[in-house]
Amino acid sequence: MAKAIPRTGSRRNVRIGSRRIVRIRLRKIGYRIPKGVIHVQANFHNIIVTVTDPWGRVVSWSSAGTCGFQGTRKGTPFAAETATEDAIGPVIRQGMQRAGVMIKGPGRGRNAALQAIRRSGIRLTFVRDVTPMPHNGCRAPKKRRV
């Protein structure tokens, strides 16, 4: 029987080294990131902003909780704006000029985060809403009988 040829394009068959070591090495040589993707996850209680390079490796991130907001103030548009500026600051210093934005969730900070990204001077290549929507969802619980 012939032996199957391993697919080298698959991530399962190729050993991926530590990303932390790669990031430290790249920081030492002055790694510039000309473009990337900004992921904004906004729910009713918090907002998380993650900046990645085009391959999906996290470069910078922030949330309303790490910016010092507590309780119900974490879900406010001002907290979203602050968290976005905190996440975008390091990548602007690394030379990011273009980025795509993927927004997920129903939170109040969605628009404020997008406005903060627009004010930062990064040119947006796309703005995409990736909120998961059920295409019929889970089965509903059975009716209550009294």
Tell me the backbone φ, ψ of residue 2, rounded to 5 degrees: -75, 145
Domains of the chain: 33-129 (3.30.420.80)
**Number of C-alpha atoms within 13 angstroms, CB side, residue 69?**
23
**Alpha carbon distances (Å) from 31 to 45, 59, 60:** 35, 11, 14
> Does an H or E element contain 127, and which?
strand 123-129
Residues 98-141: tens digit of each pLDDT: 999 999 999 899 999 999 999 999 999 999 999 999 899 899 99
Quote the CA–CA distance of 144 and 123 in Å, as a whole number: 53
For the entire predicted model, the pTM comes to 0.75
Tell me the backbone φ, ψ of residue 19, rounded to 5 degrees: -70, -25
Cα 61 vs. chain centroid, distance in angstroms? 7
Residues 57-77: tens digit of each pLDDT: 999 999 999 999 999 999 999
